Chain A
Amino acid sequence: MTTRTTFLSALPTPKRLGYSFNLTGRIGLAVILFWAFIAIFGPLLAPYPAGEIVDWDYFGPMSDKFWLGTDYLGRDILSRILMGTRYTVGISLAAVFISVAGGVILGMIAAVTGGWFDMVLSRLLDAFNGIPSLLFGLVTVAAVGSSIPVLVLTLAAIYLPGAYRFARALSVNVNTMDFITVARARGETTVYLIVREIFPNILGPVLADLGVRFVFIVLVLSGLSFLGLGVQPPNADWGALVRENIEGLSFGAPAVVFPSIAIATLTISVNLFIDNLPTKIRDRSE
């Protein structure tokens, strides 16, 4: 019995490694995992083909046949939400990773290098930041035409300057610490300084920033789709679903309510998860 308990207490569970986190964070993570699962397997679970008109009635109520009602053409909303998950989650995730990765890398380089490189890059991205995001998205998508790579890159470009500013501000603070001076005096390269000395110390805030930025991107993507520039019919992301069925709002149709709920659950749970990350990751700099 004693050997068994000592064996168990030696297991590196998240709790013993200091990576446990509270209930709110776990709920957030569970919802994220649920949507990730739907994004991958959703189309297989859909009761009807997403683009097919299956009901003669439009804005149908919730029923045994159509769990979440039908849309303005009589298509099954459940199937369409399951199909839309892939677009919303996929495009937003890709865009947020590109923007935050790009912003953080550039921000750290700017902070460590300093001088004219920092100044030119900062002013350039500041100028870019001055363009209203939705307007920029509208113009690009209207000019180049809407496709998924174009959407991902446009969204990433819109949010890169913000991520850059954030990461640069954090890195500048870390860069003045004595341990950076020690590493410089040792003769370390810029790459080592960025990857090993600075990055671990800004990771926590950067992750929190990633969560917030993900939410913004989901909302802007939904906005673009709402304006008809996002994912093109017959496919649709969640934002497009809301737009298609906006007339159903006055009937209280489930066709407009459920895509909105889907957007809300994803964005809120990402925030809950990020805000309740394990302390070991979140407060590394302390």
Chain B
Amino acid sequence: MSHSRITVRNLKIGATTDSGRRVEIIKGVSFDIAPGEIVALIGESGSGKTTIALSLMGHTRSGCFIEEGNIHLGDAEITSMSERARASLRGTKVSYVPQSAAAAFNPSKRIMDQVIEITKIHKLMPRDKAEEKAVELFKALALPHYDTIGSRYPHQVSGGQLQRLSAAMALIGDPDLVIFDEPTTALDVTTQIEVLRAFKSVMANGGISGVYVSHDLAVVAQVADRIIVLKGGVIQEEGTAEQILHNPTHSYTKELLSAFEPVLHEAIVSPTAAKHTAPILEVRNLFAGYGPVHNGEPSAKILKDVNLVLPRGRNLGVIGESGSGKSTLARAISGILPPYRGEVLIDGYEMPHALKSRSKEELRRSQIVFQLADTALNPAHSIGAILGRPLTFYHGMKGAERDARVVELLDMVRLPANLRHRLPGELSGGQKQRINLARALAADPDLILCDEITSALDTVVAAAIIDLLKELQRELDLSYMFISHDLSTVEAICDDVLVMYKGEVVEALPARDMSSKAEHPYSKLLISSIPQLDTGWLSSLEQDPDLVAEFALR
């Protein structure tokens, strides 16, 4: 293995917790990376993938320290180096592409100055040479206006462009190894494709080794030669991308893969559907927007003429990219953002637009669950108090009756009863999202608006939440409006799908055959941009460039 560029042997990284306890985060990890090879580290949050990636630069987050083992980069041993020697390696031998390029760029400096900063710090080349090289990299990364883009400020380029510019920043010092830390997680799918393509081509041309950290198997499959599956700081499985995807040996890898495989949703026949002829939710010609109101119309109009029907006991998916107005739709239906025109009917009754003019009973029937489980729970209230409040508010429950119902609700979302004495801060992400669901259920609603409720969760945890939603639907005769940008989740739970683009519904489709029946060009583009679990998907993907130019928000 003398040809490896990076060798990691028996790496152990520890950390001191807030209470002063010492824990081991990485428990003896060994792997090699050959020159020109891209290795993906994959696992859920807390698996140690970012910690390992950072340690390759000799860096640990505060409170963490390398306890044992060694890391060789070429002939240099990073683990035994002084901090000063490591600093001289960073940018020239190893470099880093962060998850959020928007947060990594200084908004008050021009892009070019920031991209060539590494050459200045390490005195690699004169300024004009460096700028020349940067423009070459911009070109290689398929950036538009590559010769002038450097003179712009970070807010003047799009998110996908900024992410590619941060890759240019990482590549300018001709590193041997580039670390990508979830670089496309924050991007829309249509944007992601272009960024992945650009990364792949520059890496292949330069013969640079790469470490790609991600939780998304499908993305990793496009980029990586080899995949290392991590869980709890231990390597579960290591193999070529092909082998991991098609022939996994470890049970955890299989679990990850199965969580990715969409299980097509079977429509449930609602027991009460026959009694109610009116759909549970109907929206007619809905307009909504933000900002100061003039002549009854807000200055920033988001939703334009939205129509939808959701029959009782069925589930409606709403898909679209960021800025398409899907969250605004949920807010307009629930009355949090009063629509300025149009009608919202729940179970055939027209809802007043504003929250204030809706009665308690009208509010009770539709509940909303948000994406970020932690900010949706008041950190100062115990779980019991959080779940108890809607019971008191809507149903007037008190004392022992309420406590009993809280325990019942916790049982419904498969959480132990003693959790009710805890504070939200003491729960995991998945548990918090279950509590959010339980709070919505406490109102005994007919309709639950789910706004990206699984997007912030790990794949396996998200799959469990989806299963729970299905189970609850069978038991409680619920209907869901399910907003997501993740098509496989939508396929797994929805009967019908709406595709939204710039505040308008462009197409309504049955979820089962989304990909085959999509007709609107934007729906086609969106659906074809979802990464598939296939190593050849990206290279064989062909998209109409005119379509891309018209619709992709790159």
A-to-B contact residues, CB < 8 Å: 177-179, 181-182, 184-188, 196-197, 200-201, 203, 284-286
Q: Which residue of A lies closest to B374 (CB)?
A: A178
CB-contacts of B327-355 with A (<8 A): 334-336, 355
Question: When the two chains form their complex, are residues B379 and A186 in contact, meaning their CB atoms are under 8 A apart?
Answer: no
Question: When the two chains form their complex, are residues B376 and A178 in contact, meaning their CB atoms are under 8 A apart?
Answer: yes
Q: Pick the contact of B393 from A186, A284, A286 — CB < 8 Å?
A: A186
Question: When the two chains form their complex, are residues A201 and B336 in contact, meaning their CB atoms are under 8 A apart?
Answer: no
Question: When the two chains form their complex, are residues A197 and B378 in contact, meaning their CB atoms are under 8 A apart?
Answer: yes
Given A185-B336, A185-B355, A186-B393, also A284-B370 (CB < 8 A) = no
Counting chain B CB atoms within 10 Å of each CB, which of A179, A188, A285, A286 scores highest? A179
Question: When the two chains form their complex, are residues A284 and B380 in contact, meaning their CB atoms are under 8 A apart?
Answer: yes
Q: Pick the contact of A285 from B335, B336, B379 — CB < 8 Å?
A: B379
Q: What are the residues of chain B within 8 A of A201 when measuring CB–CB?
A: 378-380
Q: What are the residues of chain B within 8 A of A184 when measuring CB–CB?
A: 336, 355
Question: When the two chains form their complex, are residues B393 and A187 in contact, meaning their CB atoms are under 8 A apart?
Answer: yes
Q: A182-B439, A187-B393, A197-B378 are in contact. List 5 more A-B contacts (CB 8 A).
A: A184-B336, A185-B334, A186-B390, A186-B443, A285-B380
Question: When the two chains form their complex, are residues A182 and B380 in contact, meaning their CB atoms are under 8 A apart?
Answer: no
B375 at the interface (CB under 8 A from A): yes
Give the distance in Å from the alpha carbon of A203 to the alpha carbon of B378 in the complex: 13
Question: When the two chains form their complex, are residues A187 and B355 in contact, meaning their CB atoms are under 8 A apart?
Answer: yes
User: Can you identify 12 A-B contacts, CB atoms within 8 angstroms?
Assistant: A177-B375, A177-B376, A178-B370, A178-B376, A182-B368, A182-B370, A186-B363, A187-B360, A187-B363, A201-B378, A201-B379, A201-B380
Q: What are the residues of chain A within 8 A of B372 when measuring CB–CB?
A: 178
Size bracket, chain B contacts = 20 to 34
Give the distance in Å from the alpha carbon of A87 to the alpha carbon of B535 in the complex: 80
Given A187-B393, A200-B380, A200-B381, also A178-B425 (CB < 8 A) = no
B377 at the interface (CB under 8 A from A): yes
Q: What are the residues of chain B within 8 A of A186 when measuring CB–CB?
A: 363, 389-390, 393-394, 443
Q: What are the residues of chain A within 8 A of B360 when measuring CB–CB?
A: 187
Question: When the two chains form their complex, are residues B370 and A181 in contact, meaning their CB atoms are under 8 A apart?
Answer: yes
Distance of B2 from chain A, by nearest CB (Å): 49
Q: Pick the contact of A188 from B335, B377, B393, B443 — CB < 8 Å?
A: B393
Question: When the two chains form their complex, are residues A182 and B393 in contact, meaning their CB atoms are under 8 A apart?
Answer: no
Q: Which residue of A lies closest to B334 (CB)?
A: A185
Interface string of B355-395 (1 = CB under 8 A from A): 10010100100011010100111111100000001100110
Given A184-B336, A187-B393, A188-B393, also A178-B375 (CB < 8 A) = yes
Distance of A219 from chain B, by nearest CB (Å): 33
Q: What are the residues of chain A within 8 A of B375 when measuring CB–CB?
A: 177-179
Q: What are the residues of chain A within 8 A of B381 when measuring CB–CB?
A: 196, 200
Distance of B390 from chain A, by nearest CB (Å): 6
Counting chain A CB atoms within 10 Å of each CB, which of B355, B378, B390 scores highest? B378
Question: When the two chains form their complex, are residues A185 and B380 in contact, meaning their CB atoms are under 8 A apart?
Answer: no
Interface string of B420-456 (1 = CB under 8 A from A): 0000010000000000000100010000000000000
Give the distance in Å from the alpha carbon of A272 to the alpha carbon of B370 in the complex: 41
Give the distance in Å from the alpha carbon of A200 to the alpha carbon of B423 in the complex: 13
Give the distance in Å from the alpha carbon of A177 to the alpha carbon of B378 in the complex: 9
Q: What are the residues of chain A within 8 A of B380 when measuring CB–CB?
A: 200-201, 203, 284-285
Q: What are the residues of chain B within 8 A of A187 when measuring CB–CB?
A: 355, 358, 360, 363, 393
Distance of B368 from chain A, by nearest CB (Å): 6
Distance of B132 from chain A, by nearest CB (Å): 46
Distance of A248 from chain B, by nearest CB (Å): 51
